[in-house]
Amino acid sequence: MLGIEKIDVFIGEHHILRSVSLELTGGEKVAVLGANGAGKTTLIRTVVGLEKPRSGRIAFDGRDIGGLPPYEISRLGIACVPEGRRPFGDMAVMDNLRMGAYNPAARKSLKESLAEVTALFPALHERLHQPAETLSGGEQQMLAIGRALMSRPQLLLVDELSLGLAPLVVKEIYRALRLVGETRTLLIVEQNVNQVLRHTDRAYLMQTGTIIRSGPCVELMADEDIVKAYLAH
């Protein structure tokens, strides 16, 4: 479904991603792990079109999307929950969700999507008419996920799912993502390694702009070195 082949990404003159390759098949749940500054956010920003790869190829459903602007990529069925959640703060929760369904195809099923999202996150349902900036951190993350789902994406990218959230909220969000994942492909960037490995099939490990390991989660969790470096907290 998503094939990233040896991309190099520069921000200004900084070489951030070095020959990164990654492969997602339809329906898979995949985690990307790595220390601060490893390049996880940059990877996601590149897939959605906010950064352009200088070389390499990004294919989505067999189509080269490496040079497309973000608004065209979103129309193909890729949505993301950005680092920092980035709700449209002044706007009502309802309008945030509506913006998620901006694309013509998604707009047609706006009502259904809205019902699905509010069923998934009842907390949002009660707050549809208040400004997004008045939501708690957890609710804002739900809103960010809900907004992404409003476009009815095939592929959902999530950056820092649980950063700064209370354990109970994290649990609730993972429960929701499990439902979401039944019909969609997921790529999740996480610091909370223990959680994410329990909810994904495979993981990639990034370090200073390259992918240093990848494999099924069970395999990674069994690897002494990796457990020591990333999982032992």
Partner 1 sequence: MTDFLLYLTNGLVMGIIYALFALGVALIVGIMNVVNFAHGELYVLAGYFSALFASALGMHPALAMIMATLCVFVVGLIVERTLIRPTYGNEMYSLIVTFILSIVLQNGYLLIFGPYPRKPPNLVTGATNVFSLFMYGNQRLLGFALALVMIVCFFALIRYTWFGRVVRSVSIDRDMASLMGVNPQRVNLLAFGLGCALAGAAGVILTPIFPVTPTIGVGVSLTAFVVVVLGGMGSFAGCVVGGILLGVMENLGAAYISSAYKQLFGFIILISALFLRPAGLFGRKRA
Q: Which residues would be at the binding site for partner 1 (CB under 8 A)? A: 48-50, 69-71, 74-75, 79-80, 82, 86, 88-91, 95, 98-100, 102-103, 106, 147, 151
CA distance 148 to 113: 11
25 binding partner (options ligand ATP, Mg ion, partner 1, none; Cβ < 5 to 8 Å by kind): none
Q: Is 113 in the site for ligand ATP (CB under 6 A)?
A: no
Q: Is 42 in the site for Mg ion (CB under 5 A)?
A: no
Q: Is 116 in the site for Mg ion (CB under 5 A)?
A: no
Cβ closest to Mg ion, residue 99 vs residue 163: 163
Contact between residue 58 and residue 64 where contact means Cβ atoms under 8 Å apart:
yes
Where in 21-80 is the site for ligand ATP (CB under 6 A)?
34, 36-42
Residue from 20, 30, 41, 100 in contact with Mg ion (CB under 5 A): 41
Binding part of the chain for ligand ATP, among 11-19, 64-72, 106-114, 146-154 by CB under 6 A, reads 11-19
| CB 122, min distance to Mg ion, A | 29
198 binding partner (options Mg ion, partner 1, ligand ATP, none; Cβ < 5 to 8 Å by kind): none
| CB 217, min distance to Mg ion, A | 20
CA distance 68 to 52: 9
Q: Per-residue contact track with Mg ion, 70 to 109, x per CB under 5 A?
A: -------------x--------------------------
List the structure tokens of 57.
């190829």
| DSSP symbols for the chain | -EEEEEEEEEETTEEEEEEEEEEE-TT-EEEEEE-TTSSHHHHHHHHTTSS-EEEEEEEETTEE-TT--HHHHHHTTEEEE-TT----TTSBHHHHHHHHT-SHHHHHTHHHHHHHHHHH-HHHHTTTTSBGGGS-HHHHHHHHHHHHHTT--SEEEEESSSTT--HHHHHHHHHHHHHHHTTSEEEEE-S-HHHHHHH-SEEEEEETTEEEEEEEHHHHHH-HHHIIIII--
52 binding partner (options ligand ATP, Mg ion, partner 1, none; Cβ < 5 to 8 Å by kind): none
In the complex, the residues that contact Mg ion under the rule CB under 5 A are 41, 83
In the complex, the residues that contact ligand ATP under the rule CB under 6 A are 11-12, 14, 16, 34, 36-42, 83
